[in-house]
Structure 1
């Protein structure tokens, strides 16, 4: 038995603190009031990020109206779309949970994640084009590859949804989550490979090169942020698939939802939008390619 210097028994203090912490966590998770507060907070944060992306899209359009749908414009539009849909879903999170058939819940919760993958895969494509152009290597196959990869990912996910609708067994739900974990790992590796290559290439440029230091920081920061966010998403999706305590698709895990979406979407999107806030020059941009 542990006794303090004042003669008070301390043996039950750690257990009491652990029980108190667990009680606090469960109280928030199972409180309808706290669930609504957390989901509305997530909706507000997503809405704010979406508005920032829309404002930046409008600023770019006003700055270079002569260009069509460039990579930069598509990136900001998809950011606005993903964050806008997320905001609406979290505003009506309780209604989403009650949708029938249950496959509709999966679609509304998972489709923005697929769109998030496409949005940031655009950055990988953009950097791959810059890297290969700088090395005088043809980039003709990059865009078809990008479109093919995205098409395959969406088709597989849609097939998994249809199979789940037809036969909603737990194994298929696990398979669907593990598939998206693999997609997230693929995106993380894409950032690591092409962001890393571009970063090393920029490091070899002469020190006096105009904009070298700023571009080096931009690529380094964005690569680190996006690689980390997709890697964390991959790890969390693996836990989500096999551990009921880490299930993100239920109402009574609002704290976990808040931490997860804050770390893998809201904070990374906010940071990347801030880093890429610079408007393109009005004339002759070597780094500003229209999407064909």
Structure 2
């Protein structure tokens, strides 16, 4: 028992040293910046590939998704590179805006993917898609409006209750996104499964929908839990 207690104490001490070490923090920030940078480059390459392949269709949902992905991850990468400078920004409300805004844009980006899948699902079932885009714009408008109100409240009266409320709001948006992926990604996957898989391309698309649905649902759910206990 004493050996395990000593090991746990040593682990806690090591974690405290790492967590409070500016060197480790900088390494973590730079590693995250590099990862977001890679994702941004991949999104840009995908956007260019699609544009070169089908330039006549203009800004499709798929192109907008990759463009937003590029913007969001580029901004996140930049914020992590300049994290020390961001922490020195005053008034403090601008720190919250710089850190929170990419998260909102991230939600919009992947909500757009859910919209894309929902449109495919409804069109395949010969159902009207007229209400999907207005719903997408309305949901995003409401979310951004609430976040702006929370920023103003934080600026006006930066009490702990407002900060907790802001975290809970981010957790709720993440849970909402996870539910969207589960609902429409799951529906699309099950619908595609009913069709005979005649080619490698169709099987690849089926697997792609399944993997992306699972990963995005899991990531948004984990993000929700992390925001609740942060």
TM-score past 0.5 threshold: yes
Q: How does 1:190-209 map to 2 (within 5 A)?
A: 190-208=180-198
Q: CA deviation at 1:140?
A: 0.9
Match of 2:55 among 65, 82, 85: 65
CA apart distance, 1:212? 3.5
Q: Does residue 133 of the first structure (1) align with residue 115 of the second (2)?
A: no
The 2-side partners of 1:146 and 1:107 are apart by 23
Q: Deviations over 1:57-115 (max 9, x none)?
A: 11211121212111111111111111111111111111111211111111111111111
Note the C-alpha offset of 1:162. 0.6
Change (3 A) 1:206 1:172: same
Partner of 2:159: 169
1:118-267 paired onto structure 2 within 5 Å: 118-208=108-198, 211-240=201-230
Q: Which residue of 2 aligns with 1:284?
A: none
Residue 39 of structure 1 corresponds to 29
Q: Distance in 2 between matches of 1:209 and 1:40?
A: 42
Shift of 1:56: 1.4
Structure with the larger helix share: 2
Equivalent residue number for residue 268 of structure 1: none
**Gapped runs of 5+ residues in structure 1?**
1-10, 241-292
Please say which of residues 190-199 and 203-212 is displaced more in the overlay. 203-212
Deviation, structure 1 residue 20? 1.2
Query: Cα RMSD (Å) of the superposition?
Result: 1.4
| Residue equivalent to 1:107 | 97
Secondary structure at the aligned position of 1:101 is classed as coil
Q: Deviations over 1:162-208 (max 9, x none)?
A: 11101111101111110111111111011111111111111111343
Could you tell me how far apart the structure 2 residues matched to 1:183 and 1:73 are? 24
Larger Rg: 1
SS at match of 2:220: helix
Q: TM-score, normalised by structure 2?
A: 0.96
- Is 1:74 equivalent to 2:64 in the alignment? yes
By how many angstroms is 1:12 displaced? 3.1
Q: Is the 8 A contact 2:62 2:116 kept in 1?
A: no
Q: Would you say how many aligned residue pairs link Structure 1 and Structure 2?
A: 230
Partner of 2:96: helix, strand, or coil?
Answer: helix
TM-score relative to the length of structure 1: 0.76
RCO higher in structure (CA 8 A, sep ≥6) = 1
For 1:208 and 1:29, how far apart are their aligned partners in 2?
Answer: 52
- For residue 25 of structure 1, the aligned residue among 3, 10, 15 is 15
- Contact kept, 8 Å, 1:28 with 1:34, in 2: the verdict is yes
